[in-house]
Amino acid sequence: MEQAFPGDAAGIAAFESYLGRHTRSAFRLLVNLAEESHRIDDIPPLRGRERQALIERRLSHYFPGTALTNVISLGRRPAGRRDEIMLFSACTRPDEFEPWLTAMRGRQTRLAGIHSTALLTRRLAETLLPPDGPVLLLTFGRSDLRQSVYRDGQFQFSRLTLLSDQAPRTAAALCTTEAGKIRQYLVGQEMLDWQAPLQVTILVPADQVEAFRTHCRDSEELRLNLADLPTAARNAGLDGTLAGTFTGTLADADSTPLFLHLLATKRQRPQFAPRRERRFFRLSRIRCGLRLGQAALAAGVIGFSLSQASAIHDLRRHAELRQRQLQTARQDHAALIESLPPLPIGADALRALIDRHEALANRAPSPGDLYLPLSHVLDRLPQIAPQRIDWLLSDTLEPGTDPLPANATPSFAIVRVEARLPPSLATDHRARTQLLEALKTLVSRDARLGIRILPLPVDPDSGGTLRSDAASAGIPAATALPLTFEISRRLQ
C-alpha cells in the first residue's frame, strides 16, 4: 500500500495534497460499502435513445437521490418477447463520497471510475462457482465479510457484514450464520427450494483452510466449499509473490489486493461515477488521442520525407551514371570522327547542307498527293476506265500545258487522265452528263483539288441542238467514248 488516508478533515487534506503531486495520473476508486443496492428487472427489447431513456427512468425510480448508479445487461429471456434482463445497482449514500470527490474536483483529478467489490466478485465467480443453481460466495475484507449471491452464473445481490473478531472459530461461525440467513431469504423469494441445500464457497488463506474446515461443517441446509485464496489469486493472474501473501492468520485474508488486480486487468469494469465526475479523465483521453494522432502524423511525414529523400538520392545517382555514360559516348564519338578520313567540307557545313536537303525534299511535290484521291474517285466511278495517267508540274492551268524544266519553280501539280467510257454512254446524253457531274462532285470534296474535263463530250452551245459527240466525231455507237480530264493542286 502506498499511503492511507483517514476519513477526517486531516485525512482529506492529506489526500488532496497527494492528488496535487500526481496530477498526470488517472485514479479509480474501489469501494467496499454496505450502502449498496441491487435490483434485477426486465425491460422491453428497445434500442438507441429509447432504451437509454427507459434505463435512466428506472434508475431514478429505484435509487432516488443518488447519481452513483450503474446498469449491467444480463442477457435476454429465452421465451416470449425476449425482454432484456438488467441489473440495476447504486451506492445509496453518495454523501460518504462527497468529501473525496470534492478534493478530486478541486485538483482536476482524472477520475476513471468508481468501482464496487460486490460487482468485481463476478470475475471470481467465473472460475470458482458452479454455473447452475444459486450459489453464495463469501469473501473477507479487512474487517468485514461480503456475501454475494449468484444464480445460474449471474450476479443477483450482495450484502456486507462487519467482522468483530478475526479468530477462525468466530469467523467460521459468522460464515455459517450469514449463509443460513441468505438461504432463508432465497427460500422466501422462491429462488431456492426449501428442501435443497445452498452451495456456499468461502475464500480463506491457505493456512486457515483446515481451521475453517473444523468449524464449518456441511448440514442439510448448507454445502460448504473452502477455496484456497492464493490459488484463486493465481488463477486470476496475480503474481505468484503477491498471491503468496494470502497465507497465515485470518488477518491476511483481505481480498482487496485481489480485487485491485481484477480492477486493473479486466476491461469490462462496471463503475458508478457519473459523467460529470469523469470529465477530466475524458479530456485526458482526448488529449492523449490527439497526441497519438500528432505522433502518427509526424511519423507519416517523416516516413514520406525519408522515402522522398531516398528517391532523390536514387535519381541523383542515376543522373550521375547517365552523365558518365554521356561523356563516355561523346569521347567514343569524337574518337570515331577523328579516325574517319578528312572531308572536303566541314562537319557543320555538311550538317547544314543535309538539313537544307531534307527541307527541300519535304517540300517537294509527290505524285501520291494526287494519285490517292484519283484512286478513290475511280473506285467510286467504275464506268471510267483509265488508259493513261500522266503526272506533271506546271506554272499554269491552261489547256495543253507542257511539263516544266527541272530548274523551274512550279505552281501546280497536275495529273492528266486519258480514259474510256462505256459504249452505251455514247448515245445516252443524260447518263453521260450525270457521270461527269458525279466525277466533278467527288473531286471537289477536297477543297485543295480542282478538275477540268478536256474535251467536253457534249456540245457547249446551248442554242443548238444537243448532239452526240460520238456521232459528231464519227465514232461508231458501239465504240467506247474517249474522256480526258485533269486534276490539279496548288503547291504551297
The candidate with the shortest Cα–Cα distance to 161, out of 189, 183, 141, is 141
In a domain, 262, yes or no: yes
In a domain, 349, yes or no: no
C-alpha–C-alpha distance, residues 472 and 478, integer Å: 14
103 & 233 share domain: yes
In a domain, 464, yes or no: yes
Single out the residue in 273, 302, 320 at which a domain terminates: 273
**Backbone phi and psi for residue 43, each to the nearest 5 degrees, phi listed first:** -125, 155
Single out the residue in 237, 258, 273 at which a domain terminates: 273
Enumerate residues 6+ apart whose C-beta is below 8 A from 417. Answer: 374, 386, 388, 389, 484, 485, 486, 487
Angle between helices 98-106 and 9-20 (to 10 degrees): 30
Q: Where are the alpha helices (DSSP H) in 240-388?
A: 240-243, 256-265, 279-339, 347-363, 368-380
In a domain, 156, yes or no: yes
DSSP 423: G
Q: What is the pLDDT of residue 408?
A: 62
> Is there a contact between 115 and 179 (Cβ–Cβ < 8 Å)?
no
In a domain, 67, yes or no: no
> Is there a contact between 203 and 244 (Cβ–Cβ < 8 Å)?
no
The candidate with the shortest Cα–Cα distance to 487, out of 387, 363, 378, 383, is 378
Q: Which three cell numbers stand for residue 399?
A: 489547256
Q: Could you tell me the CATH number of the domain that includes residue 216? A: 3.30.420.40
28 & 162 share domain: yes
In a domain, 315, yes or no: no
How does 297-326 read in b/e, with b if 16+ C-beta sit within 10 Å? eeeeeeeeeeeeeeeeeeeeeeeeeeeeee
Q: What is the pLDDT of residue 468?
A: 47
Query: In the beta sheet, which residues pair with residue 449?
Result: 489
Single out the residue in 245, 273, 301 at which a domain terminates: 273
DSSP 68: -
C-alpha–C-alpha distance, residues 368 and 28, integer Å: 95
pTM of the complete model beyond 0.85: no
265 & 157 share domain: yes
Q: Could you tell me the CATH number of the domain that includes residue 373? A: 3.30.980
DSSP 58: H
Positions of the chain with pLDDT under 70: 1, 239-253, 362-363, 399-409, 455-478, 492
130 & 250 share domain: yes
373 & 269 share domain: no
The CA-based dihedral angle spanning residues 354, 358, 363, 369, taken in that order and rounded to the nearest 10 degrees = 150
In a domain, 179, yes or no: yes
Count of domains observed in the chain: 2
Give residue 430's domain range.
368-490
17 & 165 share domain: yes
